[in-house]
A and B are shown apart, each in its own frame.
Chain A
């Protein structure tokens, strides 16, 4: 029983009232938490107190910054706003910010996880001025290629759509920029599962990674886009020759080769010299000539492409028809 008295005393201790003394600070409670802090400077953000609504230019910038927002809906809405802004602006007025600052914010959204965002991105890209876009195709291609080999089937499908669009607006630039021909064809082969002859024989090796989407439909679309792409690659740069003729006619005899002495008509005209970029290898080489492209194609892709086509032709229906398109594009090359 001796211990119980001790226990009692201990218990009592918990409930003892703290003694308060006049003129002394109040003792701190046992569970008192220190909340004060020290800081060199305290910044109070000013509330924005504007009466008038923010200008459209300002809003454009704001929405542009919101493209990297965490919320899917927010990104989609901002894209929608930008799209409507671009389409509804008066003709011949330029964008509030140059394309070179706008596009790097839009391109990553090609690989966005949300379907809505991606669709809206394509809509915005379509709305942007075509003529200016062709200069930036080289920047978008890595994103497209990343999309084409993405684990998610939807993104693969979508990026093929984007490639179709870019081939449509700037066929020359797509196939002739650095790595545009070799790397993109490589991605196509992976996408179609034709990478080497062995894999073409075994249909199970076909790309089945990630979550399957509507694969059957996708295959035919992929083949269509591939046909377009090949066509673009094997065609001669028609625009250039036309302009040459014009120049020749405009500046007659005494001036020779006016197209070489005049100002370049394309952006980054001396890009093939690769003055500032990382060193190029076979994959990242710029193939500006049709002959170069054909040569590379024959060296590296023709055999696997043909084997793949042969097996794809056996699939009836849409895929078979799309195969026909590709075969036609290849035949045209041989003819022309």
Chain B
């Protein structure tokens, strides 16, 4: 009963044979032939009168058929795939050794079926899927492999051989490689790399082969294939088949040697992203070290080549993202700065000058880019229909915000700036100077030289290095005609520090004064010269002699505002640091008084004041006040206590409180008390004979101290605070310190506003200097400073341009109502009735007005009545 139709499936149909018992057969036959039409309706039954059996047909659900030694499973209708039985249903029954072709049913509903009662009927059923029509469908195979790798091992093996042969063809003639047939090497590489993780044994040589192709033939590879290979290698990395080191060591040589710009960008991106991902969870020190060594060798291997630029680019990018923050990174950049290729040098130098700022900016950018508004999301969840998705989004947002908050509260990672991480700044500065600046063979142009100069001067200023020949280098350049002379001046000032011998600087200052500051020189020139001198003298006040100073201070009478301000700046500086060099009438009241009382002393070269924490005295004072306040709260006398046991108790209590408040978060409010501070002054210690406990002594001492303070406030001022040397300051203390410092700065400003100020610039100098951090560079703009004031009257255009700077984005001036209306129309909202009435065409209103006049008395009454009625109701829609 097996036959084939035009479709590709076979249906397995089984039947059950029921033998009618001999005595009942006649009765059954009577019924069967008598009601033949009825029986015919049940078309799956058949009665055979000769044997007296009735057969019932049914499809064999999920039958397992053995064919050609294979087991084939039928579907729930008992259908078999024609392809699987080799398109030959007749052969399905042909078996060896008398095996039953029908092994068993997977569903096993009907038990075992015997061979004699199973027949095969072909039925037209199955349609060909769209994908199966395609000849070579690798994506389909890939999909199948993904779902069940073990079953498709052979298929993969075949495709792997296919790939190997294509590769062989390609390697035989890489240049003339054409698209061979329907499958290209590219497709095969794609396929194999996607499923390689399922068959590590078969495809173990695959990564190495790809690496070989890329490294050997990257110059002649066709771009698409090249990209595919790069992508596949990255994919293999993601699947952990190869490690990052292998990947990067493959990519990096190609990156530096390929002539193709596209490939370079691709590789650079891939290298960067791989480094980022491998450092994302925890810093991968091993990998970082390997890559850093590679970069270092690249730079030091061939100093003249421009390949080092890639090392610079990569390092800078990783520095910016704070993946690399160690000294080795800085070492790489140091090598870059000492290279012989201009581009590499500039790359390295720029890194030192701007890398850290870039890093900070990037961090700020990345921290505030994702502004998730949790309250908004929560609000939306409250309003909208409750969905799982929405609640998920809400929880996600809250966790994100929490994580961000946590991150913000974490102690800031100590990221030292590149300049601080240098191992040997003295050597570096000397080599940079001699190699790029002093060396007559150096091929850098002025701009590049200036960059190097900035770096050297910053190094010298920051680390207080001594490079004596550096200062005389400037002599040549200190003329007003020198291009970008302000940068030179700024560099010179930047490189000065308190350990530079004043006699070296003296000649430089003299030169600046001679060249720049004269009546004949232009006002801008003079003001920048004066500014430069001031900046130098801020750092080394001893470099000035009194005749020159008195000469320069005379420029405070200059007509030009810029020059005048600059001269006053210098004057203000020397009132503080060396008032005796000024003429008597220039010294000012404070300085003169100080000199007379002998408080102000002449500074000596090489004298370094003892370092202290800025604002520590403020902290100390605050603590004292706080303690007093607490005592008052407890009802104790402010100053002295008699009950010492109580004192001790209190002291211990406070101590505990202090250590409890180690975290800043716990101590945000001002209430948590300060530390009890002890001035371990010898004199007082001797007078204090109570040795019972430290705590007691502490309190006692403070009291004594305060008494003493009240007597002679001047003496305590001079005494250096030793809070920091006697106590461990908690983070809470530092937070308070910061706060107090800020407050002091604000107070200073306020005071200034309140006072009548005679010399604003003079007062602002120390302030600006205290605000400037050691790491911040001195720029040419600061030297030029007030030069803009020296320019003559501004032209009309300049005035307009200056005005435009402050312009807001409002297009035109309009009334509030008009703007509101505009906004309404922009939002697509309609007008009110009032507006409509106002806008109504005059001619249209005429008719009504005319009618109004023609109304009869009755009509008028009606209208008036209605009007008054409406008024009582409270308007048309009033409360009835």
Residues of chain A contacted by B87 (CB below 8 angstroms): 214, 216
Task: Decide yes or no: A68 and B70 within 8 Å by CB, A151-B136, A187-B161 being known contacts.
Answer: no
B161 touches A145 (CB 8 A): yes
Residues of chain B contacted by A211 (CB below 8 angstroms): 132-135
Q: Which residue, of A110, A111, A191, A315, has the highest number of chain B Cβ atoms within 10 A?
A: A111
Nearest A residue to B136, CB-CB: A151
What band does the interface of chain B fall in when counting residues whose beta carbon is under 8 Å from A?
A: 35 or more
Is B870 close to A, CB under 8 A?
A: no
Is B876 close to A, CB under 8 A?
A: no
Is A204 close to B, CB under 8 A?
A: yes
B154 touches A205 (CB 8 A): yes
Task: Decide yes or no: A190 and B180 within 8 Å by CB, A146-B166, A152-B136 being known contacts.
Answer: no
Residue of B68, B96, B839 near A203 (CB, 8 A) is B68
Is B861 close to A, CB under 8 A?
A: no
Residues of chain B contacted by A149 (CB below 8 angstroms): 158-159, 161-162, 165
Is B469 close to A, CB under 8 A?
A: no
Q: Roughly how many angstroms separate A309 CA and B705 CA in the complex, as a whole number?
A: 108
Main secondary structure of the interface of A (DSSP, over half): helix
A212 touches B154 (CB 8 A): no
Residues of chain B contacted by A204 (CB below 8 angstroms): 70-72
Is B173 close to A, CB under 8 A?
A: yes
Contact residues, B137-151 vs A (CB, 8 A): 137-138, 141, 151
What band does the interface of chain A fall in when counting residues whose beta carbon is under 8 Å from B?
A: 35 or more
Nearest B residue to A193, CB-CB: B154
Q: Roughly how many angstroms separate A96 CA and B96 CA in the complex, as a whole number?
A: 59
A-B pairs with CB below 8 Å: how many? 122
Contact residues, B497-524 vs A (CB, 8 A): none
A108 touches B136 (CB 8 A): no
Residues of chain A contacted by B137 (CB below 8 angstroms): 151, 210
Q: When each residue 125-160 of chain A gets 1 if its CB lies under 8 Å from chain B and 0 otherwise, what string results?
A: 000000000000001001101101111101100000
Residue of A2, A205, A314 near B839 (CB, 8 A) is A2
Is B273 close to A, CB under 8 A?
A: no
Nearest B residue to A219, CB-CB: B86
Q: When each residue 1-14 of chain A gets 1 if its CB lies under 8 Å from chain B and 0 otherwise, what string results?
A: 11000000000000
In the complex, what's the smallest C-beta–C-beta distance from A6 to chain B, in angstroms? 12
Residue of A112, A203, A214 near B70 (CB, 8 A) is A203
Is B791 close to A, CB under 8 A?
A: no
B159 touches A111 (CB 8 A): no
Is A233 close to B, CB under 8 A?
A: no
Nearest A residue to B162, CB-CB: A149
A1 touches B158 (CB 8 A): no
Q: Roughly how many angstroms separate A186 CA and B87 CA in the complex, as a whole number?
A: 28
Residues of chain A contacted by B172 (CB below 8 angstroms): 139, 142
27 A-B residue contacts at CB 8 Å?
A1-B839, A1-B840, A68-B178, A104-B176, A109-B181, A142-B165, A142-B166, A142-B172, A143-B180, A146-B161, A149-B165, A150-B183, A151-B136, A151-B162, A152-B135, A154-B135, A199-B153, A203-B68, A203-B69, A204-B70, A204-B71, A211-B132, A214-B87, A216-B86, A216-B87, A311-B69, A314-B69
**Partner-A contacts on B (CB < 8 A):** 68-72, 83, 86-88, 94, 96, 132-138, 141, 151, 153-155, 157-159, 161-162, 164-166, 168-169, 171-173, 176, 178, 180-183, 839-841
**Partner-B contacts on A (CB < 8 A):** 1-2, 68, 104, 108-113, 139, 142-143, 145-146, 148-152, 154-155, 179, 183, 186-187, 190-191, 193, 195, 199, 202-212, 214-216, 278, 311, 314-316
For the complex with contacts A111-B182, A190-B158, 5 further pairs of A-B residues with Cβ separation under 8 Å are A111-B180, A146-B165, A146-B166, A205-B154, A315-B68
- In the A-B complex, the 7 residue pairs with the closest CB atoms: A111-B181, A203-B70, A146-B165, A203-B69, A151-B136, A152-B135, A149-B158
